[in-house]
Structure 1
């Protein structure tokens, strides 16, 4: 329902007293533990698709910031709520449905999202204010054992477990397909709420163990429903032009009255904001636009100098979260001077050669990786890079074109080179590299999965990379993995689906486990690594069988159950039927839980054995 500009400030005055009610009542962890408990023996199959219901509040009144908070995409929330656009602005206090994947972690049902700590945050405030009691601070602390509650730092990433639950077979027989999580508000009435959410009072009581709802204020409850919720959402779209240009043409009385009401609203809002200590993100989300590339030279406005360190390649400000790793602005790459690149590489001297057609060059004081290609082959890759920007995707700084058609693509430089050099290095190799630890391998897998999740779910249309393999995974100075080589990347079509990337990622997981390279040429003959994995996990003694299959360079310093879990993920990714393969979001969820629960004992043992390994040296041009 779209509202006029005059109606917005007037309604704000009505809604403000209820919207800003302080929702920081004590959180009852014992009740939540019972209501959202799960067991691998008796619970439904996890993860399952369901929803949490969230009320818009200052700082979270547009899809960009709300999707950022919940680690999903604006498009997914837009479609779930039947909204006409991704660029709308909600009124305060509007109830919207957030799609989540609910999983069973230990004996509790959660949907884990990553939250980046801001100045002044603590676990209690994050739980009660930002996430409106859809979680509780004790559970957040328990899931982040490495984070000290009294020493949280801005920019620190923590896992926030949202309470959720999957419906069981008995519910499905009664027509219930979702159990939505809703925070009971002061003044809620069970009869009215059941009608608003298209449920029934009896089903809500049964799903919540017949609890006393008068004692459930500011606590999460379960709402069983048969279908996706269709909520009556009030919003104001300041950028819509569907009214034929009427917006902005108001009578003088309307303008004066609107100004008076807006001023009064502003005074009330500012006062309550101070009292509530609400934090509003200072940055606006800028809508991404794409353009068709008709030629490399005509693609972008030329800039002869490389971008400075504070521009395209600067780290994202740690407090500004946009899709949990997506840079806020997607800038056009710069036009580099062709002659400068040739001088920086001494006419592509072997002294600056890295591998393939890639060279190292220092331009304007910055070190870059330079890839030589034909101009006709790079137009699509440039187009893809205009559409994406994520911390786990290699960044393109710019390009240079020569009159004879030779083109140089300029990328950020990854100090530790490609992943294959670390996984498959021979003991006799002249490159002095150390073996990757179990934690490093887990983090690399999570990085790659996060980059793929962005390509598959946070771009429009979805993008299929088409070449996920260890040689196309680059490691920076801190071993953060970045997906590179987008020469085969294309928008998803009927004949090219994200499930192809999921299969390749499953093979990459197997390489991380085994330390052996998968032979692509042998896939059609059946002698492939993914078939080996099926055989390993298809026996009763799979733990022992997998131990013999694991990379001996790990020296057994990894959790056996963790290795079995990752192997199971790899098998789920490489099913022959693409429709049966796991979604990359499910893999990100599982790897996140594993990475967070990885014991420090293995790190200490690995550090103690590091004297027996060769020293690490940075990858440099040779």
Structure 2
């Protein structure tokens, strides 16, 4: 009896040990817990993603969009050459996708260690399908439900944004002391074991066990400690086939000519058939109840069912905007721009067009304008370029934003292009600086949540016929502050250091960029030189800190100023020095020590007693500060 009891106790003890070990190895399906005040969070890490397995994510561009990073940010750690950036991925092609891992709160009592990725629900999507398919089990549907408590998993609306918590971990002190810099998120496959994973990453099997336990269950996430990412073996992109020789071309000429004639005849017949079908469809639509119409526009004719569904979806995305903006028809947009002729191109994808005798700036873009529309519909200020309306083209899935036309072009062209360079006097430059500061102060202080422009630069500052400045291009703008992103976008020379290094998005990054613009206005220099060196760094070295008080400052300032300002009798060195001082303060490496836009507006408006400016030039907040 005693022996049996002893055996039973021993079996119970073994069961408990195995259970505890399994509990350590088996992750919670709702995520991996973390402590928010740990010094290691947030951190940069990577997820191992198998490219070419999901139909809609078969190239770097689409996978980059999925995770909110650029193609280069995936290609570089994945050992993919720049020549292969646009090449389709083969099935199961290995990729390292960068993540920003944070300790994120849930609706429960604990935090989970994850990189939160925004995903827009498509037709047929479920939490289970997206987590196991699109994100390849880098998260779980239970975790998605936990962090999106307001959504009903069985009734997801197309177009709604879902937070996908990608499982990740930041290395703690014991991991980093062992020489590991990253914990790569790796999903175990049926063919994997700990030994094969350790071999793939060039690490010891025990180092994986120490962090994850002895877990070999497929579809679970392992965190692999590495000092540096292994060099992935990528397929060689085949070179283009050599051009046919002259003799081969000659032999093929007769065959090609015959085919061309036959195809031409078939093409003509096909065009006639399509024209007849279109005419019949339009006739039937006119006899019917009519189609969907734009505000104040003629009824639109629609083609296939897919196009109709696409237009309905696109309109659903911008329903809140329909009563505020004019909805243009695609035909009048094409007519206004002469079919998007190069003669009408202003720059990039922005065209000049005339509709009903009124001139507009028309921005052509793929359908990713919802965020820009959402921000623009809640701002209204004289120093922001005004949105007049928009147009959607379901055939090509394009959206066109129609803005007021700002006659005098960009500040960049007036400062740096030969036709305009040197023609802005000091008073005009100061006026431009105050206008831009007022516009930024408005979006930072008078919108809820606050708007961060994220792309302040001289080419996004437009001048009207009276040389008053307006901030343009809210394509990168973000509503909300103090977020962290891995999708670093912007223009070299204007990007704030904390955003470039850690992806921190705040109003202070706009302040930094504005400081660069101030220095451009004073110096007439580009934000970066031909060798890629940033102008602001040289300015901080020359005029920041102790350098601002050194003897000979005025001489150095004259040597650094735009030659046109040196010759301008209305421009005093004291006034320039005051503006440079404001610019240098905007460039402080510590974002919290940069001035607010309210303080900047006030400082600029009193920077020069020669600059005659009434209180009309100050924002309401700056007027209060002045008193």
TM bucket, shorter chain:
0.3 to 0.5
The structure with the largest alpha-carbon Rg is 2
TM score, norm. by length of structure 2: 0.44
TM score, norm. by length of structure 1: 0.45
Larger relative contact order (Cα-Cα within 8 Å, sequence gap ≥ 6):
1
